[in-house]
Amino acid sequence: MSRISRRECLITGLKSEEIDLVVNDLKAFLKEEGLPEGYAINVYKDSVACCGIFPLGIVVEIEGLEEQVIEYLDRRLYAKIIEICEQRGIEHHKSEPIEIV
């Protein structure tokens, strides 16, 4: 049975377009690295709608069979998120713990 993980990474003080750049950097990283067979990763911008749309950060979802592999992929992606934030000078970021269902 397939399992799915979800991690929310809040990035404050950025415009929607700037978060798009972080998402694109993560997608490029995934394309270069490749994925184990049978695993899928979805990276997208997280936002909230209230009197307009406000960007919150990014969400990473990983789907696959083995929880250990999901956790390994999540750690690699989280490390890459921190690296991207450092490269782009993004100081205000916070990540929620991974949730696997």
pLDDT digits (tens, 9 = 90+) for 55-68: 788 999 999 999 99
Which among 74, 70, 93, 52 is positioned nearest to 3, based on CA atoms?
Answer: 70
Three-state DSSP string of 44-78: EEEEEECCCEEEEEEEEEEEECCHHHHHHHHHHHH
Hunting for tokens 């921190």 — which residue is that?
82
pLDDT of residue 101: 85
Four-way CATH pick for 3-100: 3.30.70.360, 3.20.20.70, 3.40.50.300, 3.40.630.30: 3.30.70.360
pLDDT of residue 53: 67
pTM here is 0.88
Q: What is the DSSP letter of 101?
A: -
Kindly give the parts of the chain with pLDDT less than 50: none
Residue ranges per domain, the chain?
3-100
